[in-house]
Structure 1
Amino acid sequence: MAFQHILDLLGNRADDLLQHESKTFDKSLLHLPSPDFIDQVFLETNRNPQVLRSLAAMRNHGRLAGTGYLSILPIDQGIEHTAGASFAKNPMYFDPENIVKLALEGGSNAVATTFGNLAMVSRKYAHKIPLIVKINHNELLTYPTKYNQIMFGSVEDAWNLGATAVGATIYFGSEESSRQIIEVSQAFERAHELGMATILWCYTRNNDFKKDSINYEAATDITGQANHIGVTIQADIIKQKMPDVNGGFTKINFSKNDPLMYSQLTSEHPIDMCRYQLANCYMGRAGLINSGGESKGPGDLADSVANAVINKRAGGTGLILGRRAFQRPFAEGVEFLHSIQDVYLAPEVTIA
Structure 2
Amino acid sequence: MKKINEYLGDQAEYLLGHSCKTFDKTKLTIPGPDYLDQVFLNTNRNPQVLNSLSRLYNSGNLAGTGYLSILPVDQGIEHSAGSAFGPNPDYFDSENIVQLGLEAGCNGVASTFGVLGLNARKYAHKIPYIVKINHNELLTYPNKHDQILFGTVKDAWNMGACAIGATVYFGSAESNRQIREISEAFAYAHELGMATILWCYTRNEAFKTKDKDYHTAADLTGQANHLGVTIQADIIKQKVPETNGGFKALDFGKTSKEMYEKYTSDHPIDLCRYQVANCYMGKIGLINSGGASSGDSDYAEAVKTAVINKRAGGMGLISGRKAFQRPRNEGVELLNLIQQVYLDEKITIA
By the TM > 0.5 criterion, same fold?
yes
Residue 21 (1) aligns with residue 19 (2): yes
In the other structure, the counterpart of 1:274 is 272
Task: Name the counterpart of 2:82.
Answer: 84
Q: Say whether residues 1:191 and 2:174 are aligned partners.
A: no
Look up the match of 2:291.
293
**Partners in 2 of 1:124 and 1:330 — Cα distance?**
20
Question: Runs of 4 or more off by more than 4 Å in structure 1?
Answer: none
Cα distance in 2 between the residues matched to 1:212 and 1:24: 30
Please give the per-residue CA displacement for 1:256-277, whole angstroms capped at 9, x wherever unaligned.
Answer: 1001000000000000000000
Q: Deviations over 1:326-348 (max 9, x none)?
A: 00000000000000000000011
Q: Once the 2 structures are TM-superposed, how far is the Cα of residue 212 of structure 1 from its aligned partner?
A: 3.2
Residue aligning to 1:180: 178
TM-score by length of 2: 0.99
Which one of 3, 6, 11 corresponds to residue 5 of structure 1? 3
Pick from 324, 332, 335: which aligns with 1:334? Answer: 332
Pick aligned residue for 2:314 from 289, 313, 316: 316
Offset at residue 213 of structure 1 (A)? 2.2
Please state how far the C-alpha of 1:304 moved relative to its aligned partner. Answer: 1.1
2:47 maps to amino acid? P
- Alignment partners' CA distance in 1, 2:329 and 2:210: 42
Aligned residues, how many?
350
Instruction: Please tell me the residue identity of whatever aligns with 1:210.
Output: K
Q: Which one-letter code corresponds to 1:231 in the other structure?
A: V
Question: What is residue 107 of structure 2 aligned with on the other side?
Answer: 109
Between the aligned partners of 1:304 and 1:331, the Cα distance in structure 2 is 16
Q: How far is 1:300 from its partner?
A: 1.1
Task: Find the counterpart in structure 2 of residue 258 from structure 1.
Answer: 256
* Equivalent-residue separation in structure 2 for 1:168 and 1:275 (angstroms): 23
Cα drift, residue 284 of structure 1: 0.7
Distance 1:317 1:11 in 2: 24
Q: Which residue of 2 aligns with 1:32?
A: 30
> Using the alignment, how far apart are the partners of 2:107 and 2:19 within structure 1?
29
Equivalent in the alignment of 1:167? 165
Query: Equivalences for 1:196-215 in 2 at 5 Å?
Result: 196-215=194-213
Aligned partner of residue 107 in structure 1, secondary structure? coil
1:132 corresponds to which residue? 130
Q: How big is the shift at 1:177?
A: 0.6
TM-score, L = length of structure 1 = 0.99
Q: Gaps spanning 5+ residues in structure 2: where?
A: none
> What SS does structure 1 have at the residue aligned with 2:110?
strand
Alpha-carbon distance in 1 for matches of 2:72, 2:66: 19
